[in-house]
Chains A and B, each alone.
Chain A
């Protein structure tokens, strides 16, 4: 199962990333666990400097910007086929 973490505090960009992740997972039908990390303390403790941030299986994918549904889908495809 793929672990996807969306780090963000609720500003427009963060909500946008969360929405796109949900949509991508739904459209692909991936077996994914989507975790939304919205406590600034937690985000900071992980050493993440800018939000929104996306982590897939513990690996940093994007920091400080949002991703489109298409981009997220292609990333998920890559991570599931490379196992």
Chain B
């Protein structure tokens, strides 16, 4: 077998892989896994959960539905019962749909990696577009399917800032701890001189460790570490392998073809990107190398518009997810939902293409 056709694609794969194993990416990913672990293990969800059943103000309901995915869970299937619950017993199909879309779209790990590897502007655009899309999708779904008025199911109203939670710990402790973790990430990824960076990050780590020891129970501490490690163990190897594969495939994909299809931010490019995202199954975080390396956003081959469209439609839609949703809300509603995601992702991409 001709050696010349084996090595170049493998080199391309390796090059892509090394980009993701760099200090640049790791200083973002490692703190990010801890943040995700803290969200799963330490953040009390009751406050947010109680808002979904109440006959709350529509505005509040939709904005919470569109953003709470970030603080509720990192794995998208974790919140499926909640989605079903909101739909059947709580606020209805509108907020349920907002909630369903936004969760994976503004996944904490994915957004952080997007900002780090593909640029802060695309990362910020992803969040802004995803949240707005979530609200619009929800409103449209509610309009189409709940003409008879939103069902008023009442549930106990929860105060926004709760009193001490069950462990006798003031409820502001967890958010502060989370903020410290975010601070560590920002410090580690900042552009300061390395002496400042290391002292800043070390100081923040010490304070967080102290908080962990003082305010959290031993089992909460092990939950936190356990969750962070579980996420890293499940996601990181897949990310590396996926990145390597995208590098290899990218070697074979003709750049001219990609440029032709995705080179501008017009309707066709964004639409194809949105469809690709909707159909292609993307494991968590892999949308980043797919956009950056495979379709060449990082090297300027893919335009910002289609890049955003893919980032919006990709994570929220996957075949297994769609099948479960189909079973929960039925073919008609699921069909409309999918259509809305594709159309709005295309639109958001086009708008961003003009603005970027």
**Taking beta carbons and an 8 Å cutoff, which residues of A are in contact with B?**
9, 11-14, 16, 40-41, 43-44, 47-52, 64-66, 68, 71
Contacts and interface: CB of A to CB of B under 8 A. Distances in A.
Contacts of B324: 9, 40
Interface string B75-117: 1011111101100110000000000000000000000000000
A64 B223 contact: no
30 contacts: A9-B77, A9-B324, A12-B75, A12-B234, A13-B75, A13-B77, A13-B78, A16-B230, A40-B324, A43-B81, A44-B84, A44-B85, A44-B89, A47-B85, A49-B49, A49-B81, A49-B82, A50-B45, A50-B72, A50-B79, A50-B81, A50-B82, A51-B78, A51-B81, A64-B40, A64-B72, A65-B40, A65-B78, A66-B230, A71-B226
A16 B223 CA distance: 15
Interface of A: prevailing SS: loop
Nearest to A62: B223
A65 B45 contact: no
Contacts, number: 62
The 6 residue pairs across chains A and B that have the minimum distance between CB atoms: A11-B77, A49-B82, A44-B84, A43-B81, A50-B78, A44-B81
A79 B82 CA distance: 28
Nearest to B89: A44
B219 A48 contact: no
B77 A65 contact: no
A11 B75 contact: yes
B227 interface: yes
Contacts of A47: 85
Contacts of A13: 75, 77-78
A64 B85 contact: no
Nearest to A70: B222
A17 to B, nearest CB: 11
B270 interface: no
Contacts of A64: 40, 45, 72-73, 78
A16 B75 CA distance: 13
Contact of A71 (B73, B219, B234): B219
Contact of B328 (A14, A40, A50, A51): A40
B79 A71 contact: no
Interface in B57-74: 72-73
Interface in B318-349: 324, 327-328
A64 B78 CA distance: 6
Interface string B4-46: 0000000000000000000000000000000000001100010
Nearest to B230: A66
A64 B80 CA distance: 10
A59 B191 CA distance: 49
A12 to B, nearest CB: 7
Nearest to A53: B81
Interface string B279-316: 00000000000000000000000000000000000000
A48 B49 CA distance: 11
Contacts of B223: 65, 71
B217 to A, nearest CB: 13
